[in-house]
Structure 1
């Protein structure tokens, strides 16, 4: 059996044993060496199988202690929908607020940050053109649920009251409303979702493990002239949130 398929097959067997209740939540698994003997595989194969289940959220490693069955975490649904925003407005009331939806956030903006080449390409500006860069940490019920890094060209907002997204008269109102206040009409939003694994920095901020599955969403917002006015990279932990896209259907 090929080595790559072997560790995945072992992971599937261990997963079935865990889900059947052979080991209770919080219980320490036998040693890697013992499990390797049980399954007649090498220790490296067993380690890769256990690492796979740690990434999948079924196990957790504790330094100097061993590997344990992880307590399941509730996975909340996050609906990304322009249709819903039109129905409910920009800030739904608490009685109809979607569970797990961010209800607080921390942010930090920097002005006059030169755009790196990938960001400049997304914003259709020159590499090194000055932008406002804003880092966000979104919370739901006090728990970190999303990270975001936003870039806005200062050529658009630099001499206006909305240059800082979370300060001024329209602080926290969102890109659409802020841009409308300076005569920029938003026409469309493009999002590109990609699966990824959490980096050390992301894991620390989100309270998850390095290598945990995350969804990275590359978002770019365009005005009526098809000019990009903002681009952002969002990071959502898969173990905490299930992302659902909702679309309206044009009626004939």
Structure 2
């Protein structure tokens, strides 16, 4: 194949993709059948099948059992604002901790339990592997729709045997990390976030309403108090439905 020339299946997928983007193929309409693609583009069954696979992997179409392949509706991306701690502006809650846009109404479900820190989590918290941590899993909903998953770990060497050991129980249940730590005289003074992307896991897609294997954004966040990590978390959201928006003040 000459340099720069696309394989036939990518050319077919590209033309169908453009028709979806331009609205020629509307959401919820059936994609041309494999036989129709073969006839229309003058390609083999193998090429037609591979082109459909490309569109499915890109999340532009979805298969429906016994019915065929249909164009997926593409919701407008929701903005996830990241702006640090702003207690004077809006009450700190787990939802606000992850979504700083106060215009968005949100709720969450959670479950907590003790476990031993894996080597990865121990490195992030700067504690020995196997040390006890409190692990809390969240499902966040924005305006009623699943929006984000979060798993956080807090070292029990910091919070154990205190009123804030369980993030969603006790006198400060449902408050953010900064306020909970302040209640036990731990002053959070810094937060670090790293953003990456990877294929979504099947269980993540099921909870968020996405498709297994499609890209997710992962925000790995750690709160520090005097240089010591006091909470680390992974926040997961569907890449095709969200955009991260960072507000970075100049000091």
Using structure 2 for the length normalisation, give the TM-score. Answer: 0.87
Instruction: Work out whether 1:98 is the aligned partner of 2:103.
Output: yes
Equivalent in the alignment of 1:244: 245
8 Å contact from structure 2 (residues 90, 102) kept in 1:
no
Alpha-carbon distance between aligned partners in 1 of 2:134 and 2:103, rounded to the nearest angstrom: 30
Structure 1 CA distance for aligned equivalents of residues 46 and 186 of structure 2 = 57
Distance in 1, Cα, partners of 2:70 & 2:164: 49
Q: Are the aligned partners of 1:157 and 1:163 in contact in 2 as well (CA < 8 Å)?
A: yes
- Asked if the contact 1:56/1:213 (under 8 Å) is kept, the reply is no
User: What value does the CA root-mean-square deviation take over the aligned residues?
Assistant: 2.4
Q: CA deviation at 1:134?
A: 0.5
**Counterpart in 1 of 2:141?**
139
Count of matched residue positions in the alignment of Structure 1 and Structure 2:
242
Pairing of 1:1-252 with structure 2 (within 5 A): 1=1, 5-6=6-7, 7-82=9-84, 85=86, 88-91=89-92, 97-99=102-104, 103-111=106-114, 113-224=115-226, 226-250=227-251
Q: Which range moves more in the overlay, 140-149 or 19-28?
A: 19-28
Secondary structure at the residue paired with 2:189?
strand
CA drift of 1:35 comes to 1.6
Cα 1:47–1:181 shift into 2, 3 Å: farther
Shift of 1:124: 0.8
Alpha-carbon displacement from aligned partner over 1:86-133 (angstroms, at most 9, x marks no partner): 5623358xxx8323x5x100000002x011111111111111111100
Unaligned segments of structure 2, at least 5 residues: none
Deviation at 1:66, TM superposition (A): 1.2
Q: 1:42 to 1:148 in 2, by over 3 A?
A: farther
Mind listing any 5+ residue stretches in structure 1 that lack a counterpart? none
| Range 137-146 or range 52-61, more displaced | 52-61
Q: Is the 8 A contact 1:133 1:149 kept in 2?
A: yes
Contact between 1:55 and 1:213, CA under 8 Å: does it hold in 2?
no
The CA deviation string for residues 28-74 of structure 1, in whole angstroms up to 9 with x for no partner, is 11223432453344544444433333343321221222111112313
**TM-score normalised to structure 1 length:** 0.87
CA distance in 2, matches of 1:45, 1:185: 60
Structure 1: how far apart are the matches of 2:19 and 2:79?
Answer: 28
